[in-house]
A and B are shown apart, each in its own frame.
Chain A
Amino acid sequence: MPTHLFRRLGYSLLVLWGVATLVFLLFNVLPADPARLTLGQRSDLATVAAARKELHLDQPLFRRYVLYLNDISPIGLVPARKGADAPWNFSFSQLHNGQRLALKVPYLGRSYRTKRLVSDILWEALPGTVVLAFSAMLFASFLGIALGILAALKKGSFWDTGAVAASVAGISLPSFFAGLIIAYVFGMLLHAYTGLDMTGSLYEWDAFGGKQLALRNLILPAFALGIRPLAIITQLTRSSMLDVLGQDYIRTAKAKGLSRWRMVTRHALPNALNPVVTAISGWMAELLAGSFFIEYIFGWKGVGKVTVDALDKFDFPLVMASVLLSSLIFIVVNFLTDLLYMLLDPRVRTS
């Protein structure tokens, strides 16, 4: 088993490397001059030259690529003097030309617009996205699994056809549309009853209290974001349950004289969960990488909104970093899903 996990880790690193290469090529080869592009029309030559230097655009392409990889890698070459102001940098060895190999925080560049470190900006936006993604998935998973079981047990009944029809509607509903409708209906038309706003973030600034947690702002975006995964999880749970309910071991459970509840919860559900877990983890990764539309519509400060704003302003370092971040999230979530499979299914553990 450890060999398997190690191999997965190796593949993951390869994927990350590939993504980094692609990102680099997209943003360095395609546009003729990123410096010009980022500074816009009204910029003097000195600014352009500074931007070119900052982006290493005066260097040949391959050298730029190596420098970029060195920047984003957690193990890389840093100038020796830099160690002084970053004491947690763990140095492996001193090299002759004033550089040293060290364990470091990946350097993702600085925002063109605010000149802040990209890592700081993303780090600030991440909690909003994580909280939103987890709430949406929690809502979608629990309700979806429950509805799916109900539909499977009452196959052909009103509940079943109702759940299936609703989930088809949910799958076909684009999230930006659902988001707009939900924001409009619950945040505006029904504001007097719900007390919810159309936009808002996890933290609000109050003139007196300063930064405050505003959990009520979470409700509408989490609901809007959860609709599609909810619909898919419902359908998957239903079909997977129907499959499992026809298995021999369910007949055995019935022959043992177990109650319906026990048969479903102890025997059918644990066997039906595998495909559902796959779907949940896929959605989880996707939502963690930033849910662009929903965050934008609800004005929710998260990775998605930061990225969309950055795209709008041609803030390439930020965009590049958020692409890298989302691929990292996918890889980590997939890795955790593998571990979860082992927990759920004893057959995976031994093979």
Chain B
Amino acid sequence: MEENQALVVENLNVLFDDKPALHGLSFSLSAGKTLALVGESGSGKSLCALAVMGLLPSQASWMGRIHLGSKKCSESSTAADWRYLRGKVASIVFQEPMSALNPVMKVGRQIAECLRVHAGLGPAAAKKQAQEWLRKVQIPTPEKSYHKYPHQLSGGQKQRVMIAMALSTQPLLLIADEPTTALDVTIQQEVIRLMRQLQTECGAALMFITHDLALAAEIADEVLVLRAGKVVEQGPVQQVLHTPAQPYTQALLACRPSAAQKGFRLPVVADFLENNGQTPARIPIVQEQNARLPEALLKVRNLRVWFPVERDWTGTPIHFLRAVEDVSFDLNRGEVLGLVGESGCGKSTISRALMGLQEVESGHIHYEGRDLVRLNSAGWRRMRREVQMIFQDPYSSLNPRLTVGDALMEPLRVHSIVPRRLLQQEALRLLDWVHLPADSMHRYPHQFSGGQRQRIGIARAIALRPKLIICDESVSALDVSVQAQVLNLLKELQAALKLSYLFISHDLNVVSYIADSVLVMQAGKIVERGKAQEVFEHPRDPYTRRLVEASVY
């Protein structure tokens, strides 16, 4: 074994509830190097990280050898052995900074705690060092921030605190489990840059877990591609991600949406596996060319949505959060309008206002000549047929007690779309549209995978034969390979059913693939608008430029 190996994993097998979840994983990582563990959800990449930290949940058991520095761990290692290693030899940064910090403990003390336990520092010295680390991770006014609680920091700052906590004890190995997935794009880059810089300073090895191949290509020395608990491909980053040998890796690289794919069907994993490594042919999407002049389906004028944040003693609001401020746009018939912006910019508030789920302060929403702002609840019920929504989380937006068939037939019945005797038939037709088997009718949402659930959500949205569908982050929670399938489906339905989409997303690559024109929102206002290609290739507004730079690695 080489001297400077920080981590050696030999033949790691993990059983979860007695079902194999990781099969014979072996890899090594030397000090100062970065290994990217790439895979889709359920591939076992997080499980691998937990195993290396000795943090596997109690339902899991493992076999194999893990060498952390000079320490050797096996399945017979005790809790005390692990405790010595955790935090001191190996540290981890988790995905969700929002929930990974103790909400009732000052952030500075959470860092100081590590130093006191592992470096044996006294309270005063630990506090001083913790402030020093807050400065290193570029948190403004470290002395003051030491006394802040997690809820007083932004998501990016919380993740910086996590990084400070993980590196403060100078570990040999830093594990980062999707550390930036929960953050906005512009912040993602800063956090990653900071983490890399500090890692180099400490000389620690980095095990970086991600679903994002572009990110892996940018930061890793070596890559390990996982699928369903097995290694698909591993080796130097150049080799694996630039000239991949395995069809699965090729597929993962090819199915990412981008502006270059626009107008073509996205390839999916199955295409590559069937073609046995041959790049499948590009299939253009047949789109009916509208000879007529563009006709506005939806016209939004000077829309304002304010939320009261402070009230006086009588309960009258005196300060407002201006979530949507003076927004105007047109959505043409048959068009896909992308709405991009970072979290909190007001894009979801707009979609709620369009659905009548949010009271509007002032402004007009004209839909085919009717002003939706003035609509009463009976009018809104009729409008529901015309405008439908596909939500981000397909699981929580489906009633777990209804079978898929019932969930699809309910709106059909309520709005009397088809005669009662044809309900069943219509539901089957909808399932067929979204490529789900007919026996899905009698199954419950929890029996489907994430991608299938999103198809059910789509089937429900098109059940009422709407003209406009609002997709609110509809593909953001999906794996790339599933995302490609859902995007293909959305495009297919658009052409077949003559739909218009308002496509809300924080992911510029997805929007540049699917949208005809885009709106860029920042802090409740639209800062830039235009044809998708133009906006993303030649952004004029400084904010758009920052977004574009952050999403192209």
Q: Which residues of A contact B (CB under 8 A)?
A: 3, 6-7, 247-249, 251-260, 262, 266-267, 270-271, 344-347, 350
Contact = CB atoms under 8 A, between A and B. Distances in A.
A346 B104 contact: yes
11 contacts: A249-B102, A249-B103, A255-B87, A256-B87, A257-B87, A258-B87, A258-B117, A266-B105, A266-B113, A271-B102, A347-B149
Contact size range, B: 20 to 34
B4 interface: no
B94 A253 contact: no
A350 B103 CA distance: 13
B101 A249 contact: yes
Nearest to A155: B58
Given A256-B91, A257-B85, A271-B104, 9 more contacts: A248-B100, A249-B99, A252-B100, A252-B162, A252-B165, A253-B102, A257-B86, A270-B102, A346-B104
B92 interface: yes
B118 interface: yes
Contact of B83 (A259, A271, A344): A259
Interface string B90-125: 011010100111111100000001100110000000
A3 B102 contact: no
B453 interface: no
A251 B165 contact: no
B163 to A, nearest CB: 12
Contacts of B94: 248, 251-252, 255
B65 interface: no
A264 to B, nearest CB: 12
Contact of A345 (B55, B79, B96, B104): B104
A7 B86 contact: no
A249 B161 CA distance: 13
Nearest to A3: B313
Contacts of B96: 248
A310 B256 CA distance: 81
Contacts of B211: none
A109 B327 CA distance: 66
A247 B96 CA distance: 11
B53 interface: yes
A248 B103 CA distance: 11
A247 B99 contact: yes
B118 A257 contact: yes
Nearest to B109: A266
Contacts of A248: 94, 96, 99-100
Contacts of A260: 79
B105 A255 contact: no
B230 to A, nearest CB: 26
A258 B165 CA distance: 13
B196 interface: no
A266 B110 CA distance: 10
B416 to A, nearest CB: 45
B151 interface: yes
Contacts of B100: 248-249, 251-252
Contacts of A258: 83, 87, 113, 117
Contacts of B86: 254-257
Contact of A257 (B83, B151, B312): B83
B152 A350 contact: yes
B88 interface: yes
Contact of B55 (A247, A255, A266, A346): A255
B154 to A, nearest CB: 15
A260 B117 CA distance: 12
Nearest to A267: B102
Contacts of A249: 99-103
Nearest to B102: A249
Given A7-B313, A248-B96, A266-B113, A255 B53 contact: yes
Nearest to A344: B104
B87 A270 contact: no
A255 B175 CA distance: 11
Interface string B401-426: 00000000000000000000000000
Nearest to B114: A256
B105 A251 contact: no
Contacts of B165: 252, 256
B117 A262 contact: yes
B155 to A, nearest CB: 14
A250 to B, nearest CB: 8
A3 B88 CA distance: 47
A226 to B, nearest CB: 28
Nearest to B118: A257
Given A6-B313, A267-B105, A271-B102, A255 B92 contact: yes
Contacts of B53: 255
Contacts of B104: 270-271, 344-347
Contacts of A251: 55, 94, 100
9 A-B pairs with least C-beta separation = A257-B87, A257-B86, A248-B99, A346-B149, A256-B87, A249-B102, A248-B100, A252-B100, A270-B104
Nearest to B88: A257
Nearest to A249: B102
A347 B96 CA distance: 18
Contacts of A267: 102, 105
A271 B103 contact: yes
B320 interface: no
A196 B27 CA distance: 71
A348 B103 CA distance: 11
B84 interface: yes
A339 B312 CA distance: 21
Contacts of A253: 102
Which of B114, B151, B162, B165 has the most chain A CB atoms inside 10 A of its CB? B151
A41 B313 CA distance: 54
Which of A7, A255, A344 has the most chain B CB atoms inside 10 A of its CB? A255
Given A248-B100, A249-B100, A346-B104, A256 B152 contact: no
Nearest to B98: A248
Contacts of B162: 252
Contacts of A344: 104
B420 to A, nearest CB: 46
Which of A6, A252, A253, A262 has the most chain B CB atoms inside 10 A of its CB? A252
A256 B151 contact: no
A236 B313 CA distance: 35
B396 to A, nearest CB: 19
Which of A257, A266, A267, A270 has the most chain B CB atoms inside 10 A of its CB? A257
B246 to A, nearest CB: 32
B117 A257 contact: yes
A32 to B, nearest CB: 44
A331 B87 CA distance: 47
A144 to B, nearest CB: 21
Contact of A270 (B92, B101, B105, B117): B105
B118 to A, nearest CB: 6
B507 to A, nearest CB: 24
Contacts of B55: 251, 254-255
Contacts of B151: 346-347, 350
B134 to A, nearest CB: 17
Contacts of A254: 55, 86
Contacts of B91: 255-256
A248 B79 CA distance: 19
A6 B103 CA distance: 27
Interface string B162-194: 100100000000000000000000000000000
A255 B94 CA distance: 10
B97 to A, nearest CB: 9
Interface in B330-353: none
